Amino acid sequence: MRLRIRREFARSTHTRPGVTTTPVKLKWRWWIVIAVVLLTALTDYSCRRARRERSQDKVILALALQYGVDPALIKAVIWRESRFDPEARGTSGEIGLMQVMQGTGEDWAKAEKIKFYFHRRLYDPEKNIRAGTWYLKKMLNRYRHTDNPIPYALAAYNAGPGKVDKWAKGAAATSSAAFIQQIDFPGTRGYVQSIMKRYEYYRRRFPPTAKKK
């Protein structure tokens, strides 16, 4: 009799005798809690990332005007080089937002007549963007005879102008599309292509247009 009652109870609760299961409603409650926690964390991460991405906008706009470089391009380089982390450090000694090499920083300091220069000063966001933009402008001027100097300047920023001069042969000497295909360093080619794509993204959004009242 007891065995029969136990079997009937097991059927009524959709479980086997001797097996304890979590009620379906309780399971759904846990899934809802987990989903809310994950959504909150994702939203918080997205907000923090957006704030960091906008953190240097005023500096970028001011220096873009000073050096005559598209602010969207400067921002795209910072995005690729450091993801807007002013404390970023590369494996070859490059530092800061635009990952400026020591030699580049010294050339910038000399050109700008900055006294008592030392490399760690470029952890300062404004100084780093200033040095990086100065060098970027220098490379843009170097390849201004091409149909689009930006890919050449970006490749030089990543691999050095000596490598760019090796790749810029034949049609690639003036055709930026041919030049990109001529780059035989996959890392540099990917670097140029990723910044060009991000540059187009920022050009539609930065600097932000004034809202109509």
The stretch 76-84 carries a mean pLDDT of: 98
Task: Report, as an integer, the average pLDDT of 101-114.
Answer: 97
The residue annotated as part of the active site, out of 8, 53, 81, 126, is 81
DSSP state for residue 136 in the 8-state scheme: H
Mean pLDDT of the chain: 87
pLDDT band at residue 37 using 50, 70 and 90 as cut-offs: low
Give yes or no for residue 124 having a pLDDT over 80.
yes
Contacts for 141 with CB less than 8 Å, ≥ 6 apart: 149
pLDDT for 82: 97
* CATH number for the segment(s) 55-203: 1.10.530.10
Task: Choose between 129 and 37: higher pLDDT.
Answer: 129
What integer pLDDT is reported at residue 52 of this predicted model? 83
Q: Which residue has the higher pLDDT, 17 or 185?
A: 185
The residue among 7 and 120 whose pLDDT is bigger is 120
Most confident of 16-25, 43-52, 62-71: 62-71
Q: Tell me whether residue 112 is one of the annotated catalytic residues.
A: no
Q: For residue 32, what pLDDT band results from cuts at 50, 70 and 90?
A: confident
Show me where the domains of the chain are located: 2-50, 55-203
**Mean pLDDT to the nearest integer, 101-120:** 96
Give how far Cα 98 sits from Cα of 88, 125, 206, Å. 9, 9, 18
Q: How many CB atoms lie within 10 A of CB 97?
A: 31
Q: Compute the distance between CA of residue 89 and CA of residue 155 in angstroms, rounded to an integer.
A: 20
pLDDT digits (tens, 9 = 90+) for 151-193: 999 999 999 999 999 999 999 999 999 999 999 999 999 999 9
State residue 208's pLDDT score: 80
Picking from 28-37, 74-83, 99-108, which range would have the lowest pLDDT averaged per residue?
A: 28-37
Residues 6 or more apart from 21 whose CB is under 8 A from it?
A: 15
The span from the CA of 167 to the CA of 174, in Å, is 11
Q: Look-up: residue for tokens 């009620």?
A: 23
Q: What pLDDT score does 177 carry? A: 98
Token pair for residue 60? 């970028």
Q: For position 104, what pLDDT does the model report?
A: 97
Quick one: pLDDT at residue 51? 83
